[in-house]
Structure 1
């Protein structure tokens, strides 16, 4: 299936990383799918994505004598005879007997949802060292691998050299497998920005192209999401040709400094947003996060000591408002079954989500150290969306005059978070906003 057929609107879903790290299991995936089907599907949420190391039986467990638990160096992965990873049955019991993710995907599809998986670029080192054959060729995995193309934070894979015989065939073989499982969404990691090579952060360009070709000929429509960021703006043309989503940042967490920095990233990328092409602000660290901390309390390098989002309610409004008016994909990161009423209200505000789904020509109107304003236009009825952000550490008035918004006349104004009509305005919008907070208006003639 061709790229242009997928993700005509920015994807909305859930990913397991923010709450379960590399250790998610079948019960947790299906439990979150059931929650989405019951509470969120009617609002446009549809993807359930299993993040990293699903082929590693012991992922997330602390090895003896080790402090950092995220990835076991050179872990033994569940693979078939062609060096293709399979979900570990210890964590995904329905995968036993070579069924792979097909049973889970079928259950998720039966809920009216779609299923996605995370992969690392390249070929497993384990397959390389065992000289396993590449399906459909006369070559082996060691003959296509580039031992100098590695990921500095995960030791599972070698990159693939696109110039070697069998390189494309290996990618074709894994996407053939994923299509047979019923996969709808692929998040490929260590590829959007290969940070091990700071002088060449887009060093995996040829692998992106191989993945694009493999998807296009696998016979199943799949959304292609590239991680991590920051994406390289000079390569926006290449990203648009090959991917549906690409990350604007490294892992985004619930810290105000990271959220504040996203305003500049969105300004840089605002012109690259279009159907099938979605610069990605990363997952929404809302609600119940970092549940792995319960087991990894002594792990080194963890920045947080809480399993609930550190964002204030106002900061959560700001994040949802910016992501939505910019038209980033919305990928919930928290364990949804633990959602409180406030978190659920953020995910089910139909008027805000309409702005994300149907806005067009979103752009920053102005930004100072203390305030920011964004505007977009509803592609169906022509109404205007205006998001006013207070970036300062104290309550402040934020204003946008109609001239700055490039509109004129009398408009009916509705506050989308408060769900209140505010009367008419003819000259400007103005609101007192709490620290780090946001107000979103919809203006109709």
Structure 2
């Protein structure tokens, strides 16, 4: 059995780059992990106006009472898509054209948002929620082709764009990278961020930007010039350089995983990321393990006519995201593990499934009182015991040394039974009150517990 020593860090000093902005804690956004809904898991990059309004109303009804506040439209909101004949479904993975204005700034798609985003942003704010959109790093290739001017300068898109394929996104070709050493480069980001803010946006999910700290800094500088708060989330995850943490902390959320879907392998990847990034969180900056793929997913990707394919395979047209229209494929124990991990890791809670059709079990998990309390406690748990396929992770409630939350995770594809004792729970005595969060009942030291494959025992503990 392996045990892990956990040190208490009483001070934190962050060395920022010369261009970085230090913000006093009281002025920082996201003092606790952000919570909201993002359209990608359920609608890919093809969210349309009616679905946006339907999910917005459902979010206000089902999630807002529990603290969820950011309503985020993912990539493609500016894409002029070709559609499958007689349907609203896309006929192409990425739009053959994007809609921009005379300075190259993105405008809402006429295909999927004929009335623009303003009515959605206004309704969002009227409901007491905040509005977010996805942006791709760089400047639209269309702006480069048209050689559009950089607002407020004598420069054009061709003066700042980087066309070298090695510097550009390999999975989405909407934009070229920006050479931040060129005059006009910062002005481009200043203007784009100002434009988005004027659309009523309160949060930006910036994609393809994590590997490019200079453009992270440019976006952060642009946001600092606004006269309104703007939450900044950085993507993609996967290959994230810990040495660039000072640049990443200019934002509020850092994706550290690739896209996460409804299969066990993605849960395993999140456990690895948790080990790697534990302790890097701080008020205003959170380690993001991606969206929560519960409920109905991939509503804009029709099933294949090929009967040999599963719902996790691509459809007849290979669209964005994993698989086709389906209900989350995780078992209930896997779902409990998934959300317990998000709670103990203090990861932002961004629901990904369709909200109007959300099932009761998924809703119960993402609105659980203790789960939310643990998550919003804002302290990433530590791995204390790793033995026989069971992992014990624990976090203390802030300001205490005798209460908090524990997760005992079964990392195996088979049931595991064990006796509940001080060693397994990494507690120094048996003088604690223990409550099984998902079971909804008190439990006692000495009890035998059986965890289902890839399941979890989520415990709220309090000293007597």
Same fold (TM over 0.5): yes
Which one of 46, 61, 85 corresponds to residue 23 of structure 1? 46
Cα 1:145–1:378 change in 2 (3 A) is: same
Give 3-state SS (helix, strand or coil) of 2:115's partner.
Answer: helix
- Structure 1 pair 386/313, CA: closer, same or farther in 2 (3 Å)? same
Aligned-residue RMSD, C-alpha? 2.3
The residue number in structure 2 matching 1:290 is 298
Q: Report what 2:131 is aligned to.
A: 115
Aligned to 1:187: 205
Q: Deviations over 1:408-440 (max 9, x none)?
A: 3511111111222225x4xx7863111111111
Q: Is the 8 A contact 1:385 1:443 kept in 2?
A: yes
Q: Do 1:415 and 1:440's aligned partners in 2 also have CA atoms closer than 8 Å?
A: yes
Q: Who is 2:193 aligned against?
A: 175
Q: Assess, with a 3 A threshold, how the Cα gap between structure 1 residues 292 and 399 changes in structure 2: closer, same or farther.
A: farther
2:349 is aligned to 330
Give the direction of change, closer, same or farther, for the CA distance of 1:77–1:369 in structure 2 (3 Å limit): farther
Kindly indicate whether the alpha-carbon contact (under 8 Å) linking 1:57 and 1:89 is maintained by their aligned counterparts in 2.
Answer: yes
Q: d(CA) in 1 for partners of 2:66 and 2:160?
A: 44
Matched, 1:136 2:136: no
Question: Contact 1:144–1:166 (CA<8 Å) still a contact in 2?
Answer: yes
SS at match of 1:366: strand
Q: Which residue of 1 aligns with 2:113?
A: 92
Quick one: distance in 2 between partners of 1:415 and 1:257? Answer: 26
Determine if contact 2:94/2:172 at 8 Å carries over to the other structure.
Answer: yes
Range with bigger deviation, 240-249 or 159-168: 240-249
The 3 A distance-change label for structure 1 pair 444 and 35 is same
> Is the partner of 2:228 in helix, strand or coil?
coil
Residue deviations 1:352-396, cap 9 Å, x none?
A: 111000153521113356111110011166522100111111211
Going from structure 1 to structure 2, the CA distance change for 1:171 and 1:398 (only over 3 Å counts) comes to farther
Q: 2:229 aligns to what SS in structure 1?
A: coil
Look up the match of 2:261. 253
CA distance in 2, matches of 1:409, 1:368: 21
Counterpart of 2:30 in structure 1 is 7
Given candidates 151, 159, 178, the residue that maps to 2:177 is: 159
> How far is 1:304 from its partner?
3.1
Give yes or no for contact 1:361–1:377 (8 Å, CA) kept in 2: no
Distance 1:348 1:2 in 2: 34
In terms of fraction of residues, the more helix-rich structure is 1
Q: Is the 8 A contact 1:171 1:214 kept in 2?
A: yes
Q: CA deviation at 1:30?
A: 1.8
TM-score if structure 1 supplies the norm length? 0.89
- Contact 1:391-1:436 within 8 A present in 2 as well: yes
User: In structure 2, what is the Cα distance between the partners aligned to 1:69 and 1:407?
Assistant: 58
**In 2, Cα distance between equivalents of 1:248 and 1:60:** 33
Contact 2:217 2:247 in 1 (8 A): no
C-alpha contact (below 8 Å) 1:60/1:70 kept by paired residues: no
Partner of 1:344: 363
Distance 1:60 1:47 in 2: 29
Name which of 56, 63, 67 aligns with 1:33.
56
Equivalent runs, 1:407-418 vs 2, <5 Å: 407-408=428-429, 410-418=431-439
Pick which of 431-440 and 394-403 moved more: 394-403
Q: How many residues align?
A: 421
Aligned-partner SS, 1:117: strand
Residue equivalent to 2:391: 372
The 3-state SS of whatever aligns with 1:211 is: helix
Q: TM-score, normalised by structure 2?
A: 0.85
CA shift for structure 1 position 323 = 1.0
Whether 2:406 is the aligned partner of 1:386: answer yes
In the alignment, the residues of structure 2 paired with residue 378 and residue 429 of structure 1 have an alpha-carbon distance, to the nearest angstrom, of: 24
Can you give the 5+ residue segments of structure 1 that lack an aligned partner in the other structure? 96-100, 193-201
Q: What SS does the corresponding residue of 2:98 show, helix, strand or coil?
A: coil
Report 1:430-441 matches (<5 A): 431-441=449-459
Structure 2 SS opposite 1:138: coil
